[in-house]
Amino acid sequence: MKTFKAGFLQFKPVHKDIKANLSLIEKYEKKISEADIIVLPELATTGYVFETKDELLPFAEELPVGPQSEFFFKLAKNTDTLIITGIAEKEGTKLFNTQAVFYPDGEFEKYRKIHLFYQEKNVFDMAYNEPRVIEYKDIRIGLMICFDWAFPEHARILMLKGAHILAHSSNLVLPGLGQAGMRIRSIENRVFSITANRFGEEMGFKFTGMSQIVSPGGEILTKANEDEETLKIVSINLEEAENKNITPLNNLKSDRRTELYKKLCHNDT
Ligand code: ACM
């Protein structure tokens, strides 16, 4: 399939109230069914601010089993839509800030956030998965969670692994920076990007809304404002993301000078 519909749901999760958050998402079932892919914010079912592991543990879920996974599998099946959502994952005593992917046919994929932001380092365990690209109906989707935007290497690896779209589940707090950064990630990799952000405040953190979908040329195809609950969907043509030419003599993949980039792969100064 070369043309398909993708969107985001921007909302304000209720802190520590999974039931309320799943009910809100369920309210959009009919609209979700109009899209092939829907992206939800980071930690969409629990809210964001937890100070300790013990505080978050009761709200986290082993994936993909448990009531939150059951809800999303059912939603994906009922709507025939790929659902990509942020979720707090537990594995034994470990906690991960995870992006879970629920397929309409019951398949499941996940990516654990590798660039933890600020006090997330006190709550979540360090993940060791490489940036991941998943596939659905011939659409290749690169997975990213919020602060991953600040590491261009992450989006570049996803592009090199063949991603047409960056699915970016977010709880952005630095005003406008993540949205601007993702526009650049789209331009420099010639890929679509979908940033699904949240809005509202939680314990002193103000989230910036302004979810957006950006084309490979950097055009903002749709966006939400700073504090609206909304689901937006656009039509996407994959061929736009397959052409990496910037001019007849410039190609974003083949013009790279990898022999000069060795420093990127080392932490030494
Ligand atoms: C963030 O990574 N949630 C800012």
Q: Quick check: helix, strand or coil at residue 11? A: coil
Read off the pLDDT band of 266 (50, 70, 90): confident
Please say if the pLDDT value at position 1 is more than 80: no
| 113 Cα nearest atom in ligand 1 | 2
Task: Identify the DSSP state of 32.
Answer: H
- Is the CB of residue 40 below 6 angstroms from any atom belonging to ligand 1? no
- CA trace torsion 76, 79, 81, 84 (10° rounding): -50
Q: Quick check: helix, strand or coil at residue 172? A: coil
Is the Cβ–Cβ distance between 56 and 102 less than 8 Å? no
Please give the backbone phi and psi of residue 83, each rounded to the nearest 5 degrees, phi first: -110, 125
- Is the CB of residue 171 below 6 angstroms from any atom belonging to ligand 1? yes
Please give the backbone phi and psi of residue 107, each rounded to the nearest 5 degrees, phi first: -70, 160
Give the model's pLDDT for residue 269: 58
Nearest to 67 by CA among 95, 46, 81: 46
Q: Which helix (H) or strand (E) holds 89?
A: strand 82-91
Q: Quick check: helix, strand or coil at residue 107? A: coil
Give the model's pLDDT for residue 123: 98
- CA trace torsion 109, 115, 119, 124 (10° rounding): 40
Please give the radius of gyration of the chain, using alpha carbons only, rounded to the nearest integer: 18
Supply the mean pLDDT for the chain. 97
Q: Using alpha carbons only, what angle is made at residue 68 by residues 104 and 87, rounded to the nearest 5 degrees?
A: 95
**Which of 87, 97, 98, 118 for mutating ligand 1's site (highest number of atoms within 8 Å of CB)?**
118
* Domains with residue ranges and CATH for the chain: 3-265 (3.60.110.10)
- Is the CB of residue 42 below 6 angstroms from any atom belonging to ligand 1? yes
Terminal-residue alpha carbon distance, the chain = 46
> Could you give the CA distance from residue 268 to residue 7 in angstroms, rounded to a whole number?
40
Residue positions annotated with a catalytic role: 42, 113, 146
Summarised one tens digit per residue, pLDDT across range 143-187 is 999 999 999 999 999 999 999 999 999 999 999 999 999 999 999
Please say if the pLDDT value at position 237 is more than 70: yes
Tell me the H-state helices in the chain: 18-27, 29-32, 53-56, 67-79, 152-160, 177-189, 239-242
